[in-house]
Amino acid sequence: MQVLGDLVADGRGRDGPLFTAPERTAPYSYRDFCTNAWKGGNLMRHYGVRKGTRVAVVAGPKNPVDGDEPGYLGTAPDPLLAVLAAMLDGAIVDVDPPGAVDATALVAPAAWLDRYELGPGTKALAYGGPSDDPTVAQFERELWSENPLQPPGDVAPDDPALAGERTYTHGDLLAASERVVAENDLSDETTVALRAPVTTAGAIVAGLLAPMQAGATVLLGDDDADVAVAPEGVDVPEERVIRPSDISV
């Protein structure tokens, strides 16, 4: 396994649940999520996302309410889907974008789009909502009808994939996720509660990529799990905790 596209391709062969939440009537399977990641990569290519371009992704609930903060997921993993989809195209993803976004695309909850000032070449894609702005693409609707095949493109292990304190490559992220799996004994029988904001490389690795490496299930919600991914100083019901700030990427 050399690039994140390999992780997604492997995931399509798994039959188990990748995401679950108390509010979901059925789990979100590996097969469905990884197929949708392929579809998301093809969708973003329509809007100019290619190798070396930048994509900003704001994580949040589909329909945020007062008190919700950017970075914290709701009960649907659409932002994580967008992150992987852009990486499949070879883009560099910023999961903690500033208010002024200079990128090829911005993916965010429809209710939060007005918080961001888009550059002249930035395409807005909204999940949740919908947005009343006709220039905004509806992420879920356009994803539904997209091609369910692996996006074209030549991505290498040393290509950049994620912006943060530094720029992390596909190889960096995969190697870090393998270490998290080994150090925390993650397996296909593990449930990982994602309780941290997905605004850092450590959170993306611990809350998405490492569980996918192991075949584990990611819990989005308040139920107890085997392992929690949580920020420093936050109490959680789980005895085993992975702190994103402790992860070396």
Backbone angles phi, psi at 248, to 5 degrees: -90, 115
Residue 227, beta-bridge partner list: 192, 240
**Does the pLDDT value for residue 25 go beyond 90?**
no
Distances (CA, A) of 5 to 91, 193, 194: 12, 24, 22
Separation between Cα atoms, residue 174 and residue 192, nearest integer Å:
18
Q: How much is the pLDDT for 178?
A: 98
For residue range 93-104, list pLDDT tens digits in order.
999 999 999 999
CB atoms within 10 A of CB 75: 16
pLDDT for 21 equals 87
Confidence at residue 19, expressed as pLDDT on a 0 to 100 scale: 96
Give the chain's end-to-end CA distance (angstroms, integer).
17
Please answer whether residues 208 and 198 qualify as being in contact, where contact means their C-beta atoms are separated by less than 8 angstroms.
yes
Global pTM reads 0.96
Nearest to 104 by CA among 142, 51, 48, 151: 48
Question: pLDDT, tens digit, for every residue of 54-94?
Answer: 999 999 999 999 999 999 998 989 999 999 999 999 999 99
Q: What is the DSSP string of 115-129?
A: GSEE-TTPEEEEESS
Q: Using the CB atoms, write b or e for 163-202: b if 16+ within 10 Å.
A: bbeeebbbbbbbebbbbbbeebebeeebbbbbbbbbbbbb
Q: Is the predicted pLDDT of residue 193 greater than 90, yes or no?
A: yes
| pLDDT in the model for residue 23 | 72
- Tens digits of per-residue pLDDT, 117-137? 999 999 999 999 888 899 999
* Domains of the chain: residue spans and CATH: 30-145 (3.40.50.980)
Structure tokens given for 70: 């950017």
Name the phi and psi angles at 214, rounded to 5: -90, -15
DSSP-derived 3-state class of residue 18? strand
Nearest by Cα to 119 from 55, 27, 31, 37: 55
Whether 1 has a pLDDT exceeding 80, the answer reads no
3-state secondary structure of 213: helix
**Does the N-terminal peptide bond of residue 109 adopt cis geometry, omega within 30 degrees of 0?**
no
